Structure 1
Amino acid sequence: MKSIEDLMRQFAQPGKVEIITIRPERRAAPEIRERVNAKASVGLEGDHYASKGGKRQVTIIALEHLRAAASMLGKEKIDPLLTRRNIVTTGINLLALKHKKFRIGDAVLEYTGECHPCSRMEENFGKGGYNAMRGHGGITCKIIASGEIGVGDSLVVLD
């Protein structure tokens, strides 16, 4: 029988990058990019968080969680750009990355926490938007090793 630690290291498949965005300044609309440079200890080139470093250098959200939030809002789907996250993925449970490092494209990132919703979710999705996004807001990360990240790249957990 496998231990909980063994089970926590097993992933059915790598994740996949579906959308990449940056916001050049606070409250600016997200700008879609096909590729972005991730700078270690800094952030994504061109993103307003890049100069701040810290634990919130990159935000990632799972498309599967957006589908759940849409259901709670009574909508068929919601626009991923309205979440204001940097990267949208499919195929992997982002919360299972807690205490882990992972590679996306050429960059190595480390999970730093959950990305909790803010009052903008109510503005962006309407009544109940904040509560629909609770537990579905994605994760925050810091960049451990610089590299390029592109749409279609895999998210692979490192040992």
Structure 2
Amino acid sequence: MASCLHRGAIGPEVFRRNIVVSGLNLLALKGKTFQIGGVVLEYTGLCHPCSKMKISLGPGGYNAMRGHGGITTRVVEGGDMALGDAVKACL
């Protein structure tokens, strides 16, 4: 997003997401359960960006986020997760 907006690094808290991941096509998780640390999650749908992205990111922020809003999930099994935990597909 930073490069789309011609800005330096943007902190993950700006995106108003509970968990931010990189290097993964989240759409590949559609219809699957997956694990992050000790937490098992189930893909439930897309999470489209809201108009607050324009406020958080400035002009062009909402449009930059379109198609990059992420996904929603359901917690199947609770547990602990930590910064740096990998996202792993459940078999």
Larger Rg: 1
Query: Can you give the 5+ residue segments of structure 1 that lack an aligned partner in the other structure?
Result: 1-68
How many Å apart are 1:73 and its aligned residue? 1.2
Structure 2: 5+ residue stretches without partners: none
More strand by share: 1
Match of 2:61 in 1: 129
Normalising by structure 1, we get a TM-score of: 0.54
Matches for 1:1-159 after TM superposition, within 5 Å: 69-159=1-91
Q: What amino acid is the match of 2:71?
A: I
Task: Give the letter for the 2:33 counterpart.
Answer: K
Q: Per-residue displacement from partner, 1:35-58 (whole Å, max 9, x unpaired)? A: xxxxxxxxxxxxxxxxxxxxxxxx
Give 1:79 shift: 2.0
| Distance across 1 between alignment mates of 2:83 and 2:11 | 17
Q: Who is 1:31 aligned against?
A: none
| Letter paired with 1:125 | L
CA deviations over 1:42-78 (Å, ceiling 9, x no partner): xxxxxxxxxxxxxxxxxxxxxxxxxxx2222121322
Taking the aligned partners of 1:70 and 1:113, their CA distance within structure 2 comes to: 25
TM-score, length basis structure 2: 0.91
* Identity %, equivalent residues: 55
